[in-house]
Amino acid sequence: EHIAWQGKHIATVVRNDYMPTKTTFITPDGYYQQAGFVVYEEGGQVPRHMHLPLQRHLTGTPETLLIKRGVVEADLYAMDRSFLKTVTLYEGDIIMLVSGGHCFRFTEDTVLFEIKQGPYTGLKEKELF
């Protein structure tokens, strides 16, 4: 489920039961954080490789959360800070937070696995509203 506001991507939710049959990326090529499902048949392999040290420039801090345990109510906000919707996330669900704002309420003991754009700068990176 892609959530947008005035043509701007705010978030994507991937439910725990989503299982593609072929390689499927859920983000466009131009996004700062690439995410997708890579599907291999039995016996397949990825050749030995290294990633080249490409320099990239980006603005913002996209983050992705995997709900390992528990239930999360995520409120999503538009770029103008207006409320968009609440999404309830369950064990195994993934949410990619691309832009806008968000907050979370935990209705059970919860463990999140978080991936976000680095490096961590130690600077003020959040604005509460």
Global pTM reads 0.85
Joined tokens for residue 85? 């919707």
Q: In this predicted model, what pLDDT tens digit does every residue of 86-118 receive, in sequence order?
A: 999 999 999 999 899 999 999 999 999 999 877
27: confidence class by pLDDT, cuts 50, 70, 90: confident
Question: CA 86, CA 72: separation in Å to the nearest integer?
Answer: 10
Identify the weakest region by mean pLDDT among 4-8, 24-28, 67-71. 24-28
pLDDT for the residue numbered 85: 97
76: confidence class by pLDDT, cuts 50, 70, 90: very high
Dihedral sign computed on CA atoms, order 91, 97, 102, 103? positive
Q: CA-CA-CA-CA torsion for 112, 73, 7, 97, nearest 10 degrees?
A: -10
Map 11-30 to HEC letters. Answer: EEEECCCCCCCCCEECCCCC
